[in-house]
Chain A
Amino acid sequence: MNRLLTILTFIVAANTAVPATAGQPITVPGFSAAEAASADQIAIVGPAAIAAGQTADFRITGTPPVNLTLPLFDQIPWLNGDARLYCYLAETDRPLLPVSVRADLVFGHTGATLEPFLRVLCTRPGQARILVDWNFGQHQLAEHRFQITNDINPPDPPVPPDPEPDPGGKWQILIFHESTDLPQTPFQQLILLSSSALRDQLAQKGHVLLGIFDKDSFASDDSKGRYTAWWNAIAGATLPRIAIANLDGGIINHYPLPADQAAFWTLLEKPQP
């Protein structure tokens, strides 16, 4: 607790006395220049602004090198020993939040090191900081200031559902059936399949009957011709089947052949998606 109070005190002091800029490391007052120069300074690398609700990634650089020919565990007291570092997220109007650290093995031009990696979720718009209490070697308190903004990226637009068929629309209509089954087809459905007068009514209402096809009429993909999309739309569905699409084109919706004329006209008046 004493350590946290110290850190918070430092934050207040930094806000009032030290005009830090984003990403600039701060050396704790009281350390001599000689001490500071005896080791690399810890620095925090990360974004200067992040939208609320988003996660942000930060890295801590300047960590001591590791010798991969020696046991690793003994070389990282700054990560797992008494002198380990502590990391925090400070957001506006929110208690200081400890942040867990992941260490990535990094191979730089001076050798290998373990580089702490932090990922935080930013929730409160305003100024925020990542604080690193470094307790090894030169002892250092480092911070990285960044802005949490309200500028939340709009979520990806939802994928629009298939447009519902237009009630009262004008349709192009195609009926698929198995002609072998015609003699067994109920008479009311035979009317839908074969009545000349019903086709006249369809035309009068502005619909276009493309055809009433036996499934075997499509002897090959080539013979499907302009009806390929229709055939693909109803593939695998039970027959007989009616497929409709707007006269101007669009989604092909398909349904079992209605039981009678009343159901047929109802379907065309108020098709369900």
Chain B
Amino acid sequence: MIRYDASNYHQLKRTMLHGVGEALPRQTTYGTFTAAKYGLFPILDTPDQLIQPDDWKQAIADCHRETIFPKYHQIKSAWPTAGWNQGHYGFCWAYGLAAATMDCMQAEGHPPIRLSPFSLGWMVKWRNAGYYLDAAILGAKQRGIASADFVPEYNLNPQSFRKGWQTNALLYRPLEWWDTQPDRAHSMTSQCLTILATGRPCYVSWYWWSHAAEVVALDWDESLKVPVTWTVRNSHAELDFIELTGDRAVPDEAYGVRAISLPFPQEK
């Protein structure tokens, strides 16, 4: 696993970005009715349940020991082994969303399936463009994410998709998400760790990086100034997770997917 110091974001930008603003700041406001309509529910509805900084180290250790972090479900399902690469498309927002959805399905015990981020291309009118994470969440909730069997990657021509791809997409819909508040009084790390400790992944973005991805675990490294490190399933053809360290590793937006539609239609 390659470790990146997020403080050196110029290096990250050079290695992983292609000059496209891929992840746009959210449209909704935390805790509002509009956010709820998007399927976003505040994690701070139960602030007493947040894992507090004094407990981070122990909670992280416990979640690794008991293989609760979504990282372990992803490894077991092996869905990224065929590559997870957005290529030259500004679709990190779609790759992060599809990855989080697949790992939530793993947490719920569904059989592994590879979803196609390109089936979300309708949100950007089938263009190579960035998008909003919260709006993408709403779109996926409404129309779902088709499997890679129906929608090939690197293809933005829906006419060429396999017939029935839209129906197939409806089988895989992330329904409910925890929303986090970028508020110093309620550390983003606490909120994300609380989500990850349930076995559910976080769909995150960093404004400084204009990038979205999936966070699947946290780690603790005493040798670092900021001991919490972030384990990320990135979408630039990495063979393994990447690890972000430093203050800038803390995402600016984070959403925890907690419930997926059952991908089994009624058997007639």
Contacts and interface: CB of A to CB of B under 8 A. Distances in A.
Interface of A: 179-180, 182-185, 187, 190-191, 193-200, 209-214, 216-219, 221-228
B197 interface: yes
Contact of B258 (A199, A214, A219): A214
A187 B197 CA distance: 9
B107 to A, nearest CB: 6
18 contacts: A182-B200, A184-B49, A190-B68, A194-B198, A195-B66, A195-B67, A196-B67, A197-B66, A199-B76, A209-B109, A212-B107, A219-B261, A222-B265, A222-B266, A223-B264, A223-B265, A226-B267, A228-B266
B161 interface: no
Contact of A214 (B110, B176, B264): B176
Contacts of A196: 67-68, 72-73, 75-76
Interface in B198-240: 198-200
Contacts of A180: 41, 176, 258
Interface string B80-109: 000000000000000000000000000111
Contact of B109 (A200, A211, A226): A211
A187 B51 CA distance: 12
B262 A187 contact: no
Nearest to A193: B199
Interface string B159-197: 000000000000000011000000000000000001101
B198 A227 contact: no
A212 B197 contact: no
B260 interface: yes
Contacts of B67: 195-198
Contacts of A182: 198, 200, 258
Nearest to A220: B266
B66 A225 contact: no
A225 B107 contact: no
B15 interface: no
A198 B73 CA distance: 11
B259 A194 contact: no
Contact of A216 (B49, B62, B110, B259): B259
Given A180-B41, A219-B175, A194 B68 contact: yes
Nearest to B264: A225
A185 B41 CA distance: 17
Nearest to B178: A183
A215 B41 CA distance: 16
B43 interface: yes
Contacts of A184: 46, 49
Interface in B97-133: 107-110
A183 B46 contact: yes
A199 B72 CA distance: 11
Contact of B262 (A193, A197, A218): A218
- In the A-B complex, the 8 residue pairs with the smallest Cβ-Cβ separation, listed nearest first, are A194-B199, A225-B264, A214-B259, A196-B72, A182-B198, A179-B258, A211-B109, A196-B67
Contacts of A225: 262, 264-267
Contacts of A211: 108-110, 262
A183 B262 contact: no
A183 B107 contact: no
B84 to A, nearest CB: 19
Nearest to B191: A183
Contact of A183 (B75, B176, B194, B260): B194
B66 to A, nearest CB: 5
A209, A211, A222, A228 interface centre (most CB from chain B within 10 Å): A211
Given A183-B49, A214-B259, A223-B264, 14 more contacts: A182-B198, A182-B258, A190-B197, A194-B198, A194-B199, A199-B109, A213-B262, A216-B259, A217-B108, A217-B262, A223-B266, A225-B262, A225-B265, A228-B266
A212 B68 CA distance: 14
Most chain B C-beta atoms within 10 Å of own C-beta, residue among A183, A191, A210, A216? A183
A185 to B, nearest CB: 7
A224 B262 contact: yes
Nearest to A178: B259
A228 B266 CA distance: 9
